[in-house]
């Protein structure tokens, strides 16, 4: 985790620091074992190509986890991830970098919590947003 971010530090339009991931086929095999998602399109090239895919593809849930990491890395130890949603709009393949990004869209206080809404996404090496999402975090106050 990085430095602590406080509610007073962010405004609408504040960018969340970028997280770079460089997925490998080996990582997909490990994730299959950890998650129990053994669908062969994630680690068997012949099977993936036999199903019309250009390569093995990243697990959607793995990409969702990376978006969670984008937020938890940013908010620091005293922040709390309150909600996270993702949509899978594109297939991504190992061997190309993925960038996790985000921007603050709303800042408000509700039920005594300092909340921040963000649009978040993963984009591929060509800048295409393949995995959009949204998150709400609670941040501590400097006060």
Task: Render pLDDT for 25-67 as a digit per residue (tens, 0 to 9).
Answer: 999 999 999 999 999 999 999 999 999 999 999 999 999 999 9
The top-level CATH class assigned to 7-22+60-138 is alpha beta
Please check whether residue 122 is in contact with residue 62, taking contact to mean a CB–CB distance below 8 angstroms. no
Domain parsing of the chain, residue ranges: 7-22+60-138
pLDDT of residue 2: 55
| pLDDT tens digit sequence for 67-113 | 999 999 999 999 999 999 999 999 999 999 999 999 999 999 999 99
Give pTM, 2 decimals.
Answer: 0.93
For the chain, the straight-line distance linking the first and the last C-alpha, in angstroms and rounded, comes to 22
Instruction: Give the integer Cα–Cα distance in Å for 74 and 18.
Output: 9
What lies within 8 Å, CB to CB, of 72 at 6+ separation is: 1, 79, 81
Q: What is the rounded CA–CA span in Å between residue 50 and residue 120?
A: 33
Cα angle 121, 124, 129; round to 5 = 40
- Closest to 117 in 3D by CA, of 60, 71, 64, 62: 71
Tell me, rounded to whole angstroms, the distance of Cα 18 from its chain centroid.
10
């Amino acid at each position: 985790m990085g430095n602590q971010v406080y509610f007073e530090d962010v405004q609408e339009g504040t960018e969340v620091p970028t997280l770079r991931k460089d997925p490998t086929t080996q990582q997909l095999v490990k994730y299959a074992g950890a998650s129990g998602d053994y669908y062969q399109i994630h680690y068997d090239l012949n099977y993936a190509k036999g199903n019309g895919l250009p390569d093995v593809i990243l697990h959607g849930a793995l990409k969702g986890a990376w978006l969670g990491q984008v937020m938890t890395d940013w908010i620091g130890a005293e922040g709390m991830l309150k909600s996270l949603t993702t949509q899978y709009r594109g297939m991504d393949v190992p061997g190309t970098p993925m960038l996790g990004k985000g921007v603050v869209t709303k800042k408000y206080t509700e039920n005594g919590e300092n909340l921040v809404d963000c649009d978040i996404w993963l984009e591929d090496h060509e800048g295409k947003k393949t995995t959009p999402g949204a998150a709400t975090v609670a941040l501590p106050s400097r006060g």
